[in-house]
A = this chain, B = another copy of it.
Amino acid sequence: MEIKIMKNILDRNQNKANEVRNLLLLKKVLMVNIISSPGAGKTTLLERTCETLGEKFRIGVIEGDITTDRDAQRLKKYNIPIVVINTEGGCHLDSHSISKVLDSFDLDNLDVLFVENVGNLICPAQFDLGEDFKIALVSTTEGDDKPGKYPMLFREAKAVLLNKTDLIPYTNFKIDFFRDDLQKINAQIPLFEISCTKGQGLSEWYMWIEEQI
């Protein structure tokens, strides 16, 4: 019974995601769905990206959070359009909530819309929001064994960002193990090794995301 219910929910989500995707295609807005564990650095990545690409591209952000607008507050200083979706306990964003807030953006004057999903490595990977692609963000302090343990996201994503590389010397994180583990799940996926707080390794990410836009 639960499988049938889940299938219905996913089917309804997929229909609305297709609508969102068609609208954004028409408006020529790239939508990027950023998924990670709590505290892996999604907001800091957006801060760095707004700082560097904010002059060149018209950026908008949808902030998904269970409650509070803390992440949105951190992005206010970039003077970009930001809309917060509070899921009130919900563990992921879905295409219906995205569809509702798209009216709040002037889509004709936007190049890219970043969606910061709820901090969760599992459920958000199952829900298409109508994005062009998903990004998996994972931090070294979470350990080097995450691709194998949480494979769905690493299969679904178009790129992986490994954040907090500056903390590797203080942990037992083995980068070769991580790379091998990721390759077993998704052999072709681009991997960016970065530190958002220290600003390391980000130029490759900026170049890659520019190409996508």
Name A residues whose Cβ lies closer than 8 Å to a Cβ of B.
2, 5, 9, 37-40, 65-68, 70, 89, 91, 118-123, 126, 139, 141-143, 145-146, 148-152, 164, 166-167, 170-172, 197
Contacts and interface: CB of A to CB of B under 8 A. Distances in A.
A91 B89 contact: no
Given A38-B142, A38-B143, A171-B197, 12 more contacts: A37-B119, A38-B146, A40-B142, A66-B149, A68-B148, A70-B148, A89-B152, A91-B91, A91-B122, A141-B141, A141-B164, A167-B170
B149 A70 contact: yes
25 contacts: A2-B9, A5-B5, A38-B142, A38-B150, A39-B139, A39-B143, A40-B142, A66-B150, A66-B151, A67-B148, A70-B145, A70-B148, A70-B149, A89-B122, A89-B152, A91-B120, A119-B150, A120-B120, A120-B121, A120-B122, A122-B123, A167-B167, A170-B170, A171-B197, A172-B197
A9 B3 CA distance: 12
Contact of A39 (B67, B70, B122, B142): B142
